Structure 1
Amino acid sequence: MLETIKSKELINEKYITIDDALGLIKSGDVIVSGLASAEPREILRNLHKIADKVNDITVTTCLPMEMAEYFINPEYKDIFKMDGWFYTAAMRKGHKNGNISFIPNHLHLAAIKRMNHRKTNIYIGTATPPDKHGYLSLSLSNVYEKRMMKEADLIILEINKNYPRTFGDVEIHINDVNYVIETDYEVPELVDVEPNEKDLLIGKFIASRINDGDCIQLGIGGIPNAVAASLMDKKDLGIHTEMFTTGMMKLIKAGVINGKKKNFYNGKHIAAFALGTKELYDFIDDNPSIMIMDGYWTNDPYIIGQNDNQVSINTTIEIDLTGQCASESIGTMQFSGTGGQADTAIGAQISKNGRSFIALYSTTMVKNKETGEREEISKIVPFLKPGAAVSLSRNDVDMVVTEYGVAELKGTTIRERVQRLIDIAHPKFREELLKKAKELDLVY
């Protein structure tokens, strides 16, 4: 009881209001915000209110979910800048204002490289209320959060009883936090995307190459969800992943994933952050089998490769006939980010019996600039759109999957790659792709 009283006393000493927190921000500050659902919603929603008092504020963030006025509204574009490690719809919407820019990165090195470039003055994020010993849990993300907190001059956390208490490397003592703001909003959710027919076909192709006892990594979206749904007949799977998902939770509940075959942290499910539904958050709350670890360690390809039979499953926007993957931009337009794609794809291939999958639909619908009509185009292309970022080098691609099959590229020549990728392209584009490949001297 005495420890509980002391904990309450400690937190009361740190408590401030939103207005107090905003008053601590000064011109020229560089602020780092928690990732995705670890964002401090109330601070970000009110940040624009100090626009008449400050200037040259930079907010560095990753996978932001909040459509905050400070970067969405062009009225504030000369006051606030946003630098992002991973774009979302919110950032794409605000990008046209001219005050948002992308930070190229491999996610496991994002914090370290950023710290080498810019000093962080303020860290803002979310946490659970402290336990009787005075420890808060950072809850849903430690991709870079704890490292940035160590560097920051000032740490402000929104504590929220609705956030799940998680374990791993997410604990921080109240003594190491400057200020806290008590909040009570619901944890932001990522809606579980229902797989479509193409997703399910791709999911089955990938699932057929996953064996009992494999250790898996999954990303975001319909294709990863379809893969998860296709794994229900597997046994003794493990998790070492960047993102802990609702699909993974379902596999654990079904007994498919237990982590018993992992080489280290046997029986534990390792991730750098969690994002999904309320059911997921309820599942990971006070669940010692889920470990949210430092993204620098979790996503290190060498660490990933220490698990035998590691399987990486990611998606891409476009792939050329030599295997270059543009997974984050459409031409010069930044769409998302590299994230951990290269980290996990390379790590899986370091692993004994490891495999890496890159999945995409064979086609997509786009608007023809000349006619204004929507038309179907191939996502397997002779060359990437001008200015497209190569998220995964052709040197690091293993298997590519569409709804038409699997192309094994590891160790292959350009000539072999061209033919194998054409074989999994949409049939109506295969002849044209071969013709273009010959014109480019990729094949003869």
Structure 2
Amino acid sequence: MASVLKNAVRLATKTLHESSKSGVKATSRFFHFYSPEPCHPIPDKLPKWMSAEEAVSVVRSGMKVFVHGGAATPMPLVNALAQHGLDSDLNGIEIMDMFLICQTPYVQPEYKGIFRSNSFFIGDNCREAVNDGRADFVPIFLSEIPLLFRRNLITLDVALISVSSPDEHGFCTLGPSVDCARAALQNARYIIALVNPNMPRTFGDGMVHMSHFDAMVQEDYALPEYNSNRTTSEVEQQIGRIIATNLVQDGATLQMGIGNIPDAVISALWSHRDLGIHSEMLGDSMIDLVERGAITNAGKNIHPGKIVGGFAVGTKRLYEYMHDNPMIVMLDIGFVNNTSIISQNPKVTAINSCIEIDLTGQVCADSIGTWMYSGVGGQIDFLRGAALSMDGQGKPIIALPSTTQKGESKIVPVLKAGAGVTTSRAHAHYIVTEYGIASLFGKNLRQRAYELIKIAHPDHRETLEKEAFARLKCMPSP
């Protein structure tokens, strides 16, 4: 039986013919006896070790290439690919990525026509290119990105990923970024793995056997750090204190987005007990709460005792803390951000930020008018998970300073022309500024305007009240 199974797997692991489009010989990842699970060893298959330049030479014009994101962005491969595109006079290569924190050369004007970035979340690396029309953005819930690959809505020719060093059994991990990378490598025709000894070896869904790679490249370089020098303002600290004191209960399961406000909340939770983490993103600030004993994950129903994340971005301290740490599990983002999974945890408290909110509760978090800034991400995934928390104690929270750095109100009569509605007025529950909490759930438009004006900056309340009357044809009131 064993020999029959082995032969069947060999037959299923067939080499694709070189096509006129790509010229790539790749191993099919469809198995009759296995799903596209990348954890099992493929019999009689080993990747070839080569330089970054040799590895990316398989990329041809018109291909779709996935680039691993976050702290796992394989910059040596990215740089080699950019140079390969120039040297080989390539064109029409589409780069798929999700939240890169490194500056990527292929979005620069000199690469126009050779590469076109198509991002699922806009980062600093591609924001200018997207708004100049040289790159694309896909509005999509973070939880649904893996479906694009698994349903073959996007067929990937090549995946560029970073992995930790193979262990004695040939297993690597995707380190701090499992997110949608796992689905990408499961469905890519050709996989190039960058082995970096600085990549933390993590537990969870990121385990990959090296036999699934077609090429491997060895590079020793420091992982990119994200906002390592940022400081929180007094306004942000006040927002953090308000949330921690009034909305976060002992035993709560926390999700926090990116930014200073989530970090400010974390810094105000030191006296809390038995907190849990189930979050798309993990950062440095959680480490102090674990070491202080505030985070134990003891009451969680999903992976009790474990910190659950999809990707992690932070400093070297975070990456070293994650290495071989069985308390942290990095999982497929389709699981982490699944609303029905999130809602099973106790007292789910989702804390996210935004750019502006109108007087009816419509939240814009991805653009400033028509100028694209970030993306949909997992905001709705977790706001809904918290709102539908099975114990009825979930807290969906949007937190923002009352004004911009220029002193303009972030609570506005109407969103800017062209602004995206990331979170609809029906999804908005708790809105927090440095002036307090507005509870919108179950409130009508007149009541919502009243609640939001109360937490607006005092300099703007009179104007907002007049604008609310002009819009609603009645005075805001409780």
- 1:78 equivalent in structure 2: 113
- 2:19 equivalent in structure 1: none
Q: Is the 8 A contact 1:11 1:174 kept in 2?
A: no
Q: Deviation per CA, 1:125-161, whole angstroms, max 9, x where unpaired?
A: 1000111111001101111111111110001111100
- 1:28 equivalent in structure 2: 62
- 1:373 equivalent in structure 2: none
Instruction: Report the Cα distance in structure 1 between the residues aligned to 2:405 and 2:290, rounded to whole angstroms.
Output: 36
Instruction: Report the Cα distance in structure 1 between the residues aligned to 2:468 and 2:458, rounded to whole angstroms.
Output: 16
Gaps of 5+ in 1: 1-6, 367-375
Q: Is the 8 A contact 2:361 2:448 kept in 1?
A: yes
Give the alignment of 1:94-133 within 5 angstroms: 94-113=129-148, 116-133=152-169
Q: Is the 8 A contact 2:397 2:432 kept in 1?
A: yes
- Report how far residue 341 of structure 1 moved: 0.4
Kindly provide the amino acid, as one letter, of the partner of residue 433 in structure 1: L
- 1:200 equivalent in structure 2: 237
Q: Is the 8 A contact 2:47 2:211 kept in 1?
A: no
- 2:401 equivalent in structure 1: 361
2:96 equivalent to 1:56: no
Secondary structure (helix, strand or coil) at the match of 2:426 reads helix
Kindly provide the amino acid, as one letter, of the partner of residue 259 in structure 2: G
> Could you tell me which of 311, 332, 343 is aligned with 2:370?
332
Secondary structure (helix, strand or coil) at the match of 1:242 reads strand
Instruction: Report the Cα distance in structure 1 between the residues aligned to 2:174 and 2:111, rounded to whole angstroms.
Output: 30
Q: Is the 8 A contact 2:200 2:319 kept in 1?
A: yes
- Report how far residue 111 of structure 1 moved: 2.3
Secondary structure (helix, strand or coil) at the match of 1:51 reads helix
Instruction: Report the Cα distance in structure 1 between the residues aligned to 2:64 and 2:283, rounded to whole angstroms.
Output: 31
2:193 equivalent to 1:157: yes
Q: Is the 8 A contact 1:325 1:391 kept in 2?
A: yes
Instruction: Report the Cα distance in structure 2 between the residues aligned to 1:232 and 1:93, rounded to whole angstroms.
Output: 39
- TM-score under structure 2 normalisation? 0.87
Instruction: Report the Cα distance in structure 2 between the residues aligned to 1:339 and 1:290, rounded to whole angstroms.
Output: 22
Kindly provide the amino acid, as one letter, of the partner of residue 130 in structure 2: H
- Identify if the C-alpha distance between structure 1 residues 99 and 283 changes in structure 2 by more than 3 Å, giving closer, same or farther: same
- 1:19 equivalent in structure 2: 53
Give the alignment of 1:20-419 within 5 angstroms: 20-52=54-86, 53=88, 54-72=90-108, 74-113=109-148, 116-192=152-228, 193-208=230-245, 209-351=247-389, 352=391, 353-366=393-406, 376-419=407-450
Q: What RMSD in Å do the two structures reach over aligned CA positions?
A: 1.5
Gaps of 5+ in 2: 1-40
- Report how far residue 12 of structure 1 moved: 8.0
Q: Deviation per CA, 1:304-344, whole angstroms, max 9, x where unpaired?
A: 00102110000000000000100010011110111100001
Kindly provide the amino acid, as one letter, of the partner of residue 460 in structure 2: F
Identical aligned residues as a percent: 37
Instruction: Report the Cα distance in structure 2 between the residues aligned to 1:243 and 1:71, rounded to whole angstroms.
Output: 25
Secondary structure (helix, strand or coil) at the match of 2:349 reads strand
Matched residue count: 426
Secondary structure (helix, strand or coil) at the match of 2:117 reads strand
Q: Deviation per CA, 1:12-61, whole angstroms, max 9, x where unpaired?
A: 85211111112110111101111211111111122221234211000011
Q: Deviation per CA, 1:198-246, whole angstroms, max 9, x where unpaired?
A: 0111001100121111110111111111100000000010011100111
Secondary structure (helix, strand or coil) at the match of 1:395 reads coil
- Identify if the C-alpha distance between structure 1 residues 442 and 420 changes in structure 2 by more than 3 Å, giving closer, same or farther: farther
Instruction: Report the Cα distance in structure 1 between the residues aligned to 2:459 and 2:426, rounded to whole angstroms.
Output: 28
- Identify if the C-alpha distance between structure 1 residues 411 and 116 changes in structure 2 by more than 3 Å, giving closer, same or farther: farther
Instruction: Report the Cα distance in structure 1 between the residues aligned to 2:428 and 2:473, rounded to whole angstroms.
Output: 18
- Report how far residue 411 of structure 1 moved: 1.1
Instruction: Report the Cα distance in structure 2 between the residues aligned to 1:365 and 1:163, rounded to whole angstroms.
Output: 37
Q: Is the 8 A contact 1:242 1:298 kept in 2?
A: yes
Secondary structure (helix, strand or coil) at the match of 1:314 reads strand
- Identify if the C-alpha distance between structure 1 residues 297 and 171 changes in structure 2 by more than 3 Å, giving closer, same or farther: same
Secondary structure (helix, strand or coil) at the match of 2:113 reads coil
- 2:16 equivalent in structure 1: none
